[in-house]
Structure 1
Amino acid sequence: MKLQPDRLDVQSILGYGPGWIGLGNQGVAEKIEQSIVIGSRGEKFAWDCARFEDLTPAHFERLADTRPELVIFGSGSRLRFAPPAFLRSLMAARIGIETMDTLAACRTYNILAGEGRIVLTALLIEPPDRAHG
Structure 2
Amino acid sequence: MAAAALRRLGREGAGLAARCGLGGHERDRGGSVRVRGVSTPVLRQPRFPRRAPWRGYRLIPADDELYQRTRVTVLKPESPGSAFIEGYSPRGFTISGSVVVGPCAVLPRTILQWNVGSWQDISFQSLALFRLLEPPVEVLVLGTGDRVERLHPAVLKQMRACGIAVEVQDTPNACATFNFLSTEGRLVAAGLIPPRGTYKEG
| TM-score range relative to shorter protein | 0.7 to 0.9
The Cα of 1:33 is off from its aligned counterpart by 1.8
The Cα of 1:114 is off from its aligned counterpart by 1.0
2:131–2:162 contact (8 Å) kept in structure 1: yes
Equivalent position of 1:108 in the other structure: 177
The Cα of 1:72 is off from its aligned counterpart by 0.4
What SS is found at the alignment partner of 2:167? strand
Equivalent position of 1:46 in the other structure: 113
CA offset digits 1:52-100 (Å, max 9, x no partner): 2222320123222222010001111111021022234311112111110
Q: Percent identity?
A: 23
* Structure 2, unaligned runs of 5 or more: 1-73, 198-202
Alignment partners' CA distance in 2, 1:98 and 1:55 = 13
Q: Which moved more, 1:44-53 or 1:95-104?
A: 44-53
Alignment partners' CA distance in 1, 2:175 and 2:185 = 16
Equivalent position of 2:143 in the other structure: 74
Q: How many residues align?
A: 120
Equivalent position of 2:98 in the other structure: 30
Q: Which 4+ runs in 1 deviate beyond 6 A?
A: none
Q: 1:43 to 1:89 in 2, by over 3 A?
A: farther
Tell me the TM-score normalized by structure 1.
0.80
Equivalent position of 2:91 in the other structure: 19
The Cα of 1:122 is off from its aligned counterpart by 0.7
Letter aligned with residue 107 of structure 1: A
Alignment partners' CA distance in 1, 2:130 and 2:138 = 11
Tell me the TM-score normalized by structure 2.
0.55
Equivalent position of 1:64 in the other structure: 131
Higher radius of gyration, 1 or 2? 2
The Cα of 1:16 is off from its aligned counterpart by 1.5
Higher relative contact order at CA 8 Å, sep ≥6: structure 1 or structure 2? 1
Letter aligned with residue 58 of structure 1: Q
